[in-house]
Amino acid sequence: MSTYTKNLTMTAPEVALAALEHAAEKFNTATEHLTLATKTVVMLAGAPLLGLMFVLALPVISVALTVYYGAKLMAAHWAAIAKHVKNVALFFAAPFIGLAYILALPVVGLCTLAYLGVKAARK
């Protein structure tokens, strides 16, 4: 079992899905007391619309759940993620830091020699 698994409770994205399921239950309750012909006509018109509503809502709900649980996971393990991001950033910055040292150290060395030379010449 991974250390990242936790018990999760129903939250905002899941409440939206529950509201869609509640709408489907309301539709079923509304059609219980109708005659068979009326019920058939309402179901022929309503069922595709209800299916279309679920098909259109599914990607939005899926993205919302992914963002929500990803943010919750990042918030729970922020220190480990920050350490990893820092290490990756230093890994990519290392060649440029090395290049800066290669370019700067000869100039620093010449300046040091000049300083020591002037200091020795004054004595």
When the pLDDT of each residue in the chain is averaged and rounded to a whole number, the result is 85
Q: Is the pTM of this model over 0.85?
A: no
Look up tokens 């020591």; give the residue.
Answer: 116
Residue 1 has pLDDT above 50, yes or no: no
Label residues 20-41 b or e (16+ Cβ within 10 Å = b): eeeeeeeeeeeeeeeeeeeeee
Question: What's the pLDDT tens digit per position in 40-73?
Answer: 887 788 888 888 999 999 999 999 999 999 999 9
pLDDT band at 35 (very low <50, low <70, confident <90, very high): confident
